[in-house]
Amino acid sequence: MLNKANKILVSLIVVFFLFLTHAPIATSNEKLVEVTAYALNVRAAPSVRSPINGHLSKGDQLTVVPVSKYWAEIMYGNETKGYISTKHVRVLEQENAKYDSSLRVLISIGGAVFIVVVVIATYNRRQRGYKDRETVEVKSQKLTATVQNVAQESGILGGVEGIRNDVHDFPLVKVVRVIDGDTVIVSSSWRQTKIRLDSIDCPEDGQPWGNIATSGLIKLIGGKRVRIQVYGNDHYGRQLATIYVQEKSGTDWINVNEQMVVKGHAWVMRKYYEHLPKYRRDKLNQLEKWARNKRVGLWRTSNPVPPWLWRHGQGPV
């Protein structure tokens, strides 16, 4: 049970947030707009010279975020980010007002409930002391140590700690387009670069499993901010790189190249991975072997053909 002081505090918090439901709040710069032109191009960047990603028709309604006086940013479809000219749309202010009112109520009620729960939990914790917390921390440390030991012994974790500490030094870019299972386009400060995932090779477009591999990469990094470890350029001018994406928890970075192998979307290109440290090469080989043995992804298909043979018209091996 709460004491008298805590009861008064909770009551004041509830009254404050109920008052907030009737007070104006700052809204985001998102706007609901309607297309006024008969056809409106969706471009990859805010410039009439940038590639066209798609088209909108007169009467289409969508949410945009202005990026300049003449351009606004949108989400076109479910994956591709685009930009449209603001000359050919009109703002639907009344719709925004409805959304802002609903948002105000939800934020206020949610905030009141959250703070009340925090107050009650804090009081109860003080009453019980910190014995339970210390017990949980000890168990958590033991569990983490056990998992790390098992991973080290199995050879799957080798060398991860060193890379994890260096990831924050790699350039941070945004994935604007996934071309296929091992090629993406990223942007940084309005400059776009084509990236080829290093040391792996995915099935080509038109090759069995090619579309599935592309979808797998979209699911991992489509539209996300990633870090890239660049090794140089290939003979097509693409940057060869290992891509890292942050986990949902935000506590760790995932090696995307390795994930494509372990999910059965790619082969290891042993002919072109000698620049990697030995433990990185060993790990890629172990992951591919595991995917083969477990018949994960493309390995459950009959006679999968490596892309480098498919490109030269050779059949199953």
User: 43, 196, 227, 280: which is the annotated catalytic residue?
Assistant: 196
- 210, 259 in Cβ contact below 8 A? no
**Is 292 a known active-site residue?**
no
Q: Are strands 200-201 and 39-43 parallel, antiparallel or unpaired?
A: unpaired
- 312, 286 in Cβ contact below 8 A? no
Closest among 135, 152, 109, 80 to 13, alpha carbons compared: 109
| Residue 22: both structure tokens together | 């009737």
**Is 134 a known active-site residue?**
no
User: 43, 204, 227, 258: which is the annotated catalytic residue?
Assistant: 204
| Residue 299: both structure tokens together | 């390995």
**Is 238 a known active-site residue?**
yes
| Residue 61: both structure tokens together | 């309604």
Residue the block writes with tokens 């970075």: 253
Q: What three-state secondary structure class fits 131?
A: helix
| Residue 182: both structure tokens together | 């091992």
User: 177, 227, 238, 280: which is the annotated catalytic residue?
Assistant: 238
Catalytic residues: 196, 204, 238
